Each structure stands twice: as C-alpha cells, then as structure tokens.
Copies of this chain bind each other. A is one copy, B any other.
C-alpha cells in the first residue's frame, strides 16, 4: 500500500515539530510538505525552525524548503495537519477544506461548531459522522476534523470509561500545565522561575465546554451535549512537558476506588481494537505508587511514548455524593496535540474517510 502524502501547516512551532517527529517514520503517511508564515517560506526548514526536541533538526527534514501556508502551495498532498495559531487557522482551514483537503487540526478554532467533529478516537469515534453533515452544509470537497485542547484530552480520556460505567454528574479539575503548552517563547523564564502562574488565557472555558461535546451523543446529525457540569481552574508550572490534573468527580452512582481503578485499567477503545499505529496498547495506565503520576515520568509512558494518560491516587471524595478523586497526567504536546491529530488521521483512514 502506498503511503499517503501529508503536509503540516505551521510546522515550525512546538506542536509543528512534534508533528514532524511523529510523521517521519509513519507507516501510513509520508511527510511531503511543511508550511510556515510568509517570512519563513522559501527557506530551509532547519533555518527557520528553532528545533527543540534534540540537538539538531532531523536530517530527513533539515533541507526541506518551507512553503507558504496556502492550499495552492500543497497540492501534492491529500491530508493536512494543522498546528496554526487559532486566528490564522480560522482563515486558512476552510480554504483548505474547500479546496478538497482533509484537515486534521489541533488549532482551537471551530471546535465547538455543530458540524465539526471534535474527536478523541478512544472516546467518540462515532462523531466522525459529522463529516458528511459538514461537507453537505458547507459544500466542501474536503473537511475539517479537530482534536480537543491538551488539558481536556488528558482528563476526558479517564473520564470516558467512568462515564460509561457509573455515570458522571459533576467534575472539578485543577491543572498544573507544562511550559510547552504556551509555545517555545510563550513563558519567559523570569516569569516562572521560583514561581507558578495561576492563569492561562481561555483555557478554563475550553476545559469546561469541550468535555460536554466529547461525551455527548450523536443524534440526527448533531451532538447532544452530555448532561454534566465541569468547572476548571488552570495553572502554569515550571515543567517542560506534561500536564498534571487533579480531578474531583461526582459519579452517577456509588463506586469504590478499587472499582474505579479496575474500570480505568480495563479501558480500551476503537484505536486499540483497530491497532492504529499511534494508539497505545492501554490508553489509561493506573500507577500503584502513592506519589504518581509525575510529569517527568508520565509524559513518556505507554507503549507509544507520550500517548497514554497515567492516573494515580484514586481515592474517595468527602465533599461529593458518590465522590471520587484522582490525579492524571499526559504529554501535552503528544497525546494532547500532535499525537492526538495523528491518531485522528489514522482513525479517518481506518474508517474509510481518506481515499
């Protein structure tokens, strides 16, 4: 089977670099195009990407000429991964979909639009049905699929099996988020050395809204939001990669911590069943250590490094009926961003949404 040629829109930033890394040896996809802003277009990738994942830009992409972020510039590919800033994506992604491209996007625009599938493959793969609604409504040849915010993914993955098994009424999350979530230059060292910053712009809204769509039910071509309430408080901590989240949950019925651990440990989704290349064998790993998950370790956990969510400290909650609390952690740029979009694209291909 020939590999599918793919491109990365906004390939020079933190998420873009992880896309490049994940796609370099991908069994199904062939990295064929890298785009960036006008200022970088025409230059060598190694010249414009402040590569931060290792000492050097991988040899295979160092000399690739960066193209402008424009559908006309990437006509040789079928599938586009988007790591653009939301405002740019808002403008460019529809143009790409109209021009016939499939867009698997990590950008935060459009996520809550009713005809845009917002997908975690282990959670709501059936929502891909919105693709047809979207194409028909918008008259596009191509289409756009989104993955959620990095923090949302990290706590919704473990919530999914609990939602199915016990029901969920109410969720409180308090995040301790990594620096890479803000991009390479997003957080000055003087701002965060010996410090934390208890604020991340727009993050709490995303964490409170996206789970309702992800856990919602598809009915008649639209998603009925899940009848749960989520409250979030989001904070930046001096950690390179890995978002850690304290989660307090009011379940729909009583469950012991041991039952919760069992449900989490046994959780497998469609990507595991389909054995998608980027799917970890176990999407949620429960650590037995009393002081885990810690981001320096959890961010690389799993059979596909960075794609598992590690859960620890499952215990009862005194302040909620049927209350449970736990801590979860995953790699915010892999499972929370680039890896999420790649897994979505693998699901698209496996379900016949790619030619």
Interface check A320, CB cutoff 8 A: yes
With contacts A189-B179, A292-B55, A310-B55 known, is A198 near B319, CB below 8 A?
A: no
Residues of B within 8 A of A313 (CB): 198-199, 233
Of chain B, the residue at the smallest CB distance from A246 is: B233
Q: Which of A152-201 contact B (CB under 8 A)?
A: 170-172, 174, 176, 179-180, 184-199
Q: Are A244 and B198 touching (Cβ within 8 A)?
A: yes
Residues of B within 8 A of A327 (CB): 198, 233, 235
With contacts A294-B195, A295-B196 known, is A287 near B55, CB below 8 A?
A: yes
A54 interface neighbour in B195, B230, B246, B297, Cβ under 8 Å = B297
Q: Are B295 and A248 touching (Cβ within 8 A)?
A: no
Residues of B within 8 A of A192 (CB): 189
Q: Are B238 and A244 touching (Cβ within 8 A)?
A: no
With contacts A231-B317, A233-B174, A248-B231 known, is A55 near B301, CB below 8 A?
A: yes
| Other 11 A-B pairs with CB < 8 A, given A198-B294, A199-B291 | A176-B176, A189-B193, A194-B194, A194-B296, A195-B296, A196-B239, A196-B294, A196-B295, A199-B313, A233-B248, A235-B244
Offer 12 A-B interface pairs, CB within 8 angstroms, sorted by A. Answer: A14-B190, A55-B292, A55-B294, A176-B176, A184-B188, A186-B188, A186-B190, A196-B294, A196-B295, A198-B312, A231-B317, A231-B318
